[in-house]
């Protein structure tokens, strides 16, 4: 088994999907597999005057996984990218995404948020309120 050095690439899948990611090729027995890191899709934002920007989204929106393995038989074409602007957009997206996943200091519990107690004590208080009504 050998893994080649990773590189930035646009991958066109036979399903029609086009993704941009950091890619490494791996030889497994008699198959070549692509290890895709943090794949994204890029859509153009168009107006009447033409393309005004790009919309970057994760390839798969319902998972937090970073790596995916795709068989070369599922790939229509792959193109290595040296486009600095594209690579910078990709890296910026990943940085912003990791910043969003980090817990903010304000999300920690504190006494300023309200009464803190244990479960038994809280249960007794709620039962008392319920029984008095």
> pTM above the 0.75 mark?
no
Alpha helices in the chain (DSSP H): 84-101, 119-132
Beta-carbon neighbour count of residue 23 at 10 Å?
23
Tell me the β-bridge partners of 3: 26
Instruction: Name the token pair of 118.
Output: 């244990």
The answer to whether residues 87 and 81 touch, using CB atoms and an 8 Å cutoff, is yes
Pick one of 2.30.30.100, 2.60.40.1190, 3.40.50.1820, 3.40.190.10 as the CATH number of 2-105.
Answer: 2.30.30.100
Please state which of the ranges 18-22, 28-32, 88-92, 105-109 shows the lowest mean pLDDT.
105-109
**Is pLDDT of 113 > 60?**
no
Q: What tens digit of pLDDT does each residue of 22-75 get? A: 999 988 888 889 999 999 999 888 888 887 788 899 999 998 889 999 999 999
């Amino acid at each position: 088994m050998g893994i080649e050095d990773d590189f930035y690439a646009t991958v066109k899948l036979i399903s029609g999907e086009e993704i941009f990611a950091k890619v490494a090729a791996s030889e497994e027995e008699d198959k070549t597999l692509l290890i895709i890191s943090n794949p994204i899709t890029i859509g153009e934002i168009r107006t009447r005057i033409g393309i005004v920007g790009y919309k970057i989204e994760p390839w798969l929106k319902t998972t937090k996984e970073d790596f995916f393995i795709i068989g070369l038989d599922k790939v229509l074409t792959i193109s290595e990218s040296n486009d600095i602007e594209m690579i910078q957009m990709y890296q910026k997206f990943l940085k912003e995404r990791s910043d969003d996943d980090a817990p903010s200091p304000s999300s920690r519990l504190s006494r300023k948020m309200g009464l803190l107690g244990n479960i038994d004590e809280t249960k007794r208080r709620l039962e008392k309120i319920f029984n008095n009504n």
